[in-house]
Amino acid sequence: MRRLAPWVLALAAGAAGAQSGTPAQGPAAGGLPVYTLDPTHTFVSFEIRPAGLSTARGRFDRKQGRVAFDRAARRGEVEIEVATASVSTGVPAFDALLRGESLLASERHPTARFVGERFDFEGDRVSAVAGTLTLRGRTQPLTLRATRFACYANPLFQREVCGGDFEAPLRHRDFGIAAPAGVPEEVRLVVQVEAIRQ
Amino acid sequence: MTPAKRSAVRRLLAAAALCTGAGAGAAPASYVLDPERSFVHFEVVHFGTSTIRGRFGPAQGSVLLDPGARRAEADVRVATASVDTGVRPFDARLRRDDLLASEAHPEAFFVARQARFDGERLAELRGEFTMRGVSQPLTLRALHFACRADAAGEVCGGDFEAELLRSSIGATFGLPFIADRVRLLVQVEGRRR
């Protein structure tokens, strides 16, 4: 484990820098313990099968957010914001198309934001987070379902880390995005998140 | 149904027949992978808590399909240095000797000479996967696979998945905190030559 330390700590230091603009220091409103998103293990991705053949995957590379979470009290609040222009599919021409006016409209709507205010539990695991997604200037309800959730003592940070995998179907029409011909109505949102207790 | 609608439906049915016919033609056909639609993604679980994802690509290669004879062959390769997780220090760490060893082994490749079909639909590709200089048998299961005709000819493609233990190729860094089991998701589309 010691071999892991130098580079992971360097990443964590970078993460702290990236988060310095967020207000998630000290206790959150409502007195819930505060967690800082680990940007190296927090990603918003999506999957879509545009022509019925293969699945295209994309990811938003710039993100920030904050989490307040009390496992014992079964309460939590989360806010994750991504820069829509940071979309990355591995194909620059697709990225440019996605940023365009008819799809993400990144110039007019540089960020997309999920605010989750209701945490559902099964036992002591988070099973879903319900809230709203604001995309392309429109706000709609969205529930992220957990396919995996755990908390563990991270030996490098010497802190508790909680996180999981979440997903939700998203109808782009709900956000004013007109799907081109042949593109399915729904995108699958896939969210990986880990957060470090402060 | 109006005559105009009937004629439109007939045209659609004809196109559909052409479409399935193309993929299930009597003669074997070869396809070149489309670099804009061919990528290999991987998923590995971090501390039993969340899934790390990354992609390699574009994948390059070719596929030979002969559904009538239930035969398929595939040659697919990716540059290991193309790994992209969205975190540059991770990518650099992944390229090092105890993981991808990208300098010594710049390519990972899959060579399949056997296939399983469900009817005339490609269901599995069985072959040998080489990464980090270690070759081992690997089966890619088709989650879906289809062919369709378009203005420029014919395109076939789908999603495949496979699992491997990274320890089996000597990529051991971070075990057991970062899981041994790696899920590969292969997205491919090929255009008929």
Contacting residues of B for A194, CB less than 8 Å apart: 46, 49-50
Give the CA dihedral B12, B18, B21, B27, nearest 10 degrees.
-170
Looking at residue B120, its pLDDT comes to 84
Looking at residue B2, its pLDDT comes to 53
Residue holding tokens 């998923």?
Answer: B43
* CATH number for the domain whose boundaries are B3-192: 2.40.128.110
Which chain B residues touch A if contact means CB-CB below 8 Å? 36-39, 41, 45-53, 55, 57-58, 84, 86-87, 89-90, 93, 146, 148, 155-159, 173-174, 177, 185, 187-189
Identify which of A14, A54, A194 has the shortest CB distance to residue B187: A54
Q: Which DSSP string corresponds to A75-110? A: EEEEEEEEEGGGEE-S-HHHHHHHHSTTTT-TTT--
Identify which of A10, A39, A55 has the shortest CB distance to residue B159: A55
Distance between CA atoms of B8 and B180, rounded to whole angstroms? 53
- In this predicted model, which residue has the larger pLDDT, A26 or B185? B185
Looking at residue B26, its pLDDT comes to 57
Which token pair is A26? Answer: 């000290």
Contacting residues of A for B58, CB less than 8 Å apart: 90-91
Looking at residue A179, its pLDDT comes to 79
pLDDT exceeds 80 at position A30 = no
pLDDT exceeds 50 at position B173 = yes
Distance between CA atoms of A70 and A34, rounded to whole angstroms? 9
Return the number of other C-beta atoms located less than 10 Å from residue B4's C-beta. 8
Predicted complex: ipTM over 0.90: no
pLDDT confidence tier of residue A17, bands split at 50, 70 and 90: very low
Contacting residues of B for A11, CB less than 8 Å apart: 87, 89-90
Distance between CA atoms of B85 and B91, rounded to whole angstroms? 6
Contacting residues of A for B187, CB less than 8 Å apart: 54-57
Q: Calculate how close chain A gets to B125, using CA atoms only, in Å.
A: 16
Domain range list for chain B: 3-192
- Whether B108 and B134 have beta carbons less than 8 Å apart is answered as no
Mean pLDDT for the stretch of residues B136-152: 94
Distance between CA atoms of A68 and A195, rounded to whole angstroms? 10
Looking at residue A9, its pLDDT comes to 46
pLDDT exceeds 50 at position A22 = no
Mean pLDDT for the stretch of residues B141-154: 93
Residue of A nearest to B93 (CA): A7
Least confident range of A43-47, A183-187, B39-43: A183-187
The answer to whether the Cα torsion of B48, B159, A96, A114 is positive or negative is: negative
- Measured at the CA of B17, the angle between CA B13 and CA B20, to 5 degrees, comes to 135
pLDDT confidence tier of residue A139, bands split at 50, 70 and 90: very high
pLDDT confidence tier of residue A78, bands split at 50, 70 and 90: very high
Residue holding tokens 């992971």?
Answer: A8
- In this predicted model, which residue has the larger pLDDT, A88 or B22? A88
3-state helix, strand, coil in chain A (%, to 5): 20, 50, 30
